[in-house]
Chain A
Amino acid sequence: MSDPTIDSPEITETLDLWVAGTEEPEFSPTDEGEQEISDHESEARLDEQFGRVVEDDYVFDDGVDEGERMILNMGPQHPSTHGVLRLQVELEGEIIRRTKPIIGYLHTGMEKTGEQLNFSQGGTNVTRMDYLAPFHNELAYSLAVERLLGIEVPPRAAAIRVLLTELNRCSSHLVALATNGMDIGAISMMIYGFREREQILGFFEKTTGLRMNHNFIRPGGVAADLAPGWKDDVAAILTELPRRLQQYDDLLKDNPIWIARTRGVGVISAEEAIAYGITGPALRAAGVAWDLRQAFPYSGIENYEFEVPVGEHGDVYDRYRVRIEEIHQSLRIVEQAMDSMPMGDYRVDDRKVTPPPRARIDESMEALIHHFKLFTEGFKVPPGETYVAVESPRGELGCYLVSNGEARPYRIHTRAPSFANLQGLPIAMADSLMADTVATIASMDPVMGDVDR
C-alpha cells in the first residue's frame, strides 16, 4: 500500500537534495589536496601518539572568536560521570578551557544522620558513604571511637581489619580499572574487572553476610570471627588475582590505543596535587611516595611488608599503573596477614563496649544488663575530639569525631578523599580535549556517595 503524499509534487519540490550532475560542485571529487600526508604525521607527532613524549599544555589561542566559546553541561545523568557528577565545561571548539564540578545531587545529610545514631549504630551510616570501600569508612570511624574510648583492640581483630581493608582496596581498584577501561572504550576491561571483584565480594559475603555496606568493623573489634574455611577462599584469591592482573597487563600495558588515550592526559603535577589536597593514587602517580599506611600506621599495618608504588608523570596512564601495582602490594599484605593471623579474641573484652557472648546472657545477670544497656542506649564515650585518617583506595579518609560524653556523637565529620580529589578535575582538564574528559574523570575515581555524603 503506497502513501499518496510521497508522490505529491509539493513534497518533491521542497526536498533540496544535491544530485550528482545537476549542478557544478565547488570541488573536484578526486582532489586529495587536503588529505595529503602532511607534517602533522611527522615523527614528533607519532612520538606523541605513542606516548613517548608527554605533552599536556595546549597553547591558548587568543584569536578564537567569542562565538566559538560554548558552555556545556555534562551530567549529572551521564554514565561516565560515575554517579551524579555534573561538570560545567567552557569549550573553545574541542578544547576545554575551564571546568566547574557541581555536586550535591546525592547529598543525604549523612553527617546529620550520624548525630542521631549512637556509637554502635554509627557504623551502618558511615559504611554507606564510600560504597566501594566500606571497610575503610568503618575502620576510620571505629579507630576514632576507640581513640576517644581509649581502648586497644586485640591483635586478631587488628589483623582481620587489615586483611579486609586490603582486600577491599583490591576490589575498589578493580572497579576503578574496570570503569576506566569502559570509559575509554576497552569494554572487555570492564567485564574482567567486575568479574574479579565478584570473587572478593563473595569472600566478603561469606565473612560479613553482605557484599557491600558490611558494618563489620565496629568500635571494639569486628562483628564476628572469620568464617570457617576462610583461608581457602583467601588463598584462591591470592592465586587467581595475580594471574588476572597479568592478563590486564597483556591487554592494556603496551596497547597503543590505550597508551594514546591515557599518556599525557589529565596531568596533575606533584605541586598541584599537594596544593589542592589531592591524595591517594592521584598523588602517588605524580611521583610523591605518600601513603598513610607508612606515614601514620594504623591497625598494626606497620608489621607487614609492602612498598608504595609511585608514578612519574601524573597522567591517566600512571594512575592506572599505580592502581595495578597497589593491588599487587595489597595482595602481599593479605598474604602476610593470612599466614600470621594471630589467635585470640576478635573483639575487645570490655563489656561496656562489646556485647557479651550469647551463652553468657542465659547465665549471668550482669551480662544481661550489659546486653540490654548496649542495645537500648548504647555505650557512652568520654568527651573529647579526635581526627583519625586511614589510607582508603581514593586517598586520605579521615573521621573527625566530637563527643560530649553521651551515647551519640556530638559531631561526626568525614574527610572524604573523593571530595578533595574532585578539585583536581579543573586542573587536570584545563586546555585538554573534550574527548579526554571521561578518561580523566574515571582516573580520579570519584565515588559520589563519598563526595556528597
Chain B
Amino acid sequence: MSDETTTVEETPPVGPERPLPEHPVLRALFEDFETVGWVRSLGQDVAQVPNEAWAGFAHAVRDAGFEVCVDVTVVDWMRERPERFEIVANLLSMAHKLRLRMTTTAGRVDPSVASLVPIWPGVNFAEREAYDMFGVTFEGHPDLTRILMPDDWEGHPLRKDFGVGSVPVQFKESHQVS
C-alpha cells in the first residue's frame, strides 16, 4: 500500500455523511444534487437518482462531459424490491474516459420516467425497446411504439410475470395437414 492511496482514501469524508466519488468530475456532479445517491458497484460508479430528478440530473451529467448514452434498459424486480422497475442508463464520457451508470425506480402501477431522447437522441431505440419489453413509459419520447414485438402484441415479454412458452403457436393448422 503506497502513501498515495491512503491519502486519497482520507479525502472523501470531507463532505457531509453522504459518500461521494473521488473523481473530480463526478464529485462536482454529485455535490450539486442532494437527492442523488452514489454507490460503487464492483468498480463502477452508479448514481441512484430519484424518479422526478431523472431528466434534470441527466442534463447536468451531459453538461459535465458525458456525451454518449450508450444504453437504457430496465430490470424488473417483481416482489424483491418495493419499487418494481429499475431503469438503468449507461453513460460514457469520451473526454474524461469515464463511465457512469444512472438508475432510477418506477412503481408497479403505470411505471413511467422522463425520456432522455431530448438530451441524447441516441437512446431513442433503447427506450422504445425498454417500453416494448417492460411497459415502462418514457414521457416525452417522440415515438414510443413497440420496436421488436409486433404492434398488436399483448403484454411485455421481459417482465418476470410474463410466462415462458405460454404463447399459442402461430400457424398451428399447418400441423394438421396430412
Chain A residues engaging chain B, CB cutoff 8 angstroms: 103-104, 107, 109, 111-112, 116, 147-148, 274-279, 288, 290, 295-296, 384-387, 389, 396, 398, 400, 402, 404, 410-411, 413, 415, 419-420, 422-423, 452-453
Partner of A107, one of B69, B124, B148: B148
B25 near A: Cβ within 8 Å?
A: no
Contact, CB under 8 Å: B125 / A400: no
B158 near A: Cβ within 8 Å?
A: yes
Majority DSSP secondary structure for residues of B touching A: mixed
B73 near A: Cβ within 8 Å?
A: yes
Partner of A112, one of B122, B146, B147, B158: B158
Given contacts A116-B164, A400-B71, contact A109 B122 (CB under 8 A): no
A402 to B129 CA separation, bound complex (whole angstroms): 18
Shortest CB distance A242–B (Å): 31
Shortest CB distance B43–A (Å): 8
Contact, CB under 8 Å: B147 / A104: yes
Contact, CB under 8 Å: B148 / A104: yes
B88 near A: Cβ within 8 Å?
A: yes
Contact, CB under 8 Å: A387 / B101: yes
Q: Can you list, as one digit per residue, whether each of B26-53 has a CB less than 8 Å from chain A (1) or not (0)?
A: 0000000000000001111000000000
Chain B residues engaging chain A, CB cutoff 8 angstroms: 41-44, 67-71, 73, 75-76, 80, 88, 90, 92, 94, 97, 99, 101, 120-126, 129, 133, 146-150, 157-158, 162, 164
Given contacts A116-B164, A148-B42, contact A415 B148 (CB under 8 A): no
Partner of A277, one of B43, B120, B150: B120
Shortest CB distance A188–B (Å): 35
Contact, CB under 8 Å: B99 / A387: yes
Shortest CB distance B20–A (Å): 21
Given contacts A385-B41, A398-B70, A402-B75, contact A274 B94 (CB under 8 A): yes
Contact, CB under 8 Å: A411 / B76: yes
A5 to B143 CA separation, bound complex (whole angstroms): 59
Contact, CB under 8 Å: B42 / A410: no
20 residue pairs from A and B, CB less than 8 Å apart: A104-B146, A104-B147, A109-B157, A111-B133, A112-B157, A112-B158, A147-B43, A274-B67, A274-B68, A385-B41, A387-B101, A396-B92, A402-B75, A413-B73, A415-B73, A415-B90, A419-B129, A420-B122, A420-B125, A423-B125
Contact, CB under 8 Å: B88 / A400: yes
A386 to B101 CA separation, bound complex (whole angstroms): 10
Partner of A278, one of B90, B94, B99, B122: B122
Given contacts A277-B70, A413-B73, contact A384 B149 (CB under 8 A): no
Given contacts A107-B148, A277-B68, contact A384 B164 (CB under 8 A): no
Q: List, in ascending order, chain A residues with CB within 8 A of B92's CB.
A: 396
- Give me 20 other A-B pairs in contact (C-beta within 8 A), A277-B122, A400-B90, A419-B126 excluded: A107-B149, A109-B157, A147-B42, A274-B94, A275-B122, A276-B122, A277-B70, A277-B123, A295-B94, A296-B97, A384-B41, A386-B41, A387-B44, A387-B90, A387-B101, A411-B75, A415-B70, A422-B125, A423-B125, A453-B148
A147 to B44 CA separation, bound complex (whole angstroms): 11
Shortest CB distance A287–B (Å): 13
Closest to A289 in B: B94
A361 to B3 CA separation, bound complex (whole angstroms): 48
A279 to B158 CA separation, bound complex (whole angstroms): 26
A420 to B122 CA separation, bound complex (whole angstroms): 7
Which of A104, A389, A398 has the most chain B CB within a 10 Å cutoff?
Answer: A104
Q: List, in ascending order, chain B residues with CB within 8 A of A404's CB.
A: 80
Q: List, in ascending order, chain B residues with CB within 8 A of A411's CB.
A: 75-76
A112 to B129 CA separation, bound complex (whole angstroms): 13
Contact, CB under 8 Å: B164 / A295: no
Shortest CB distance B13–A (Å): 25
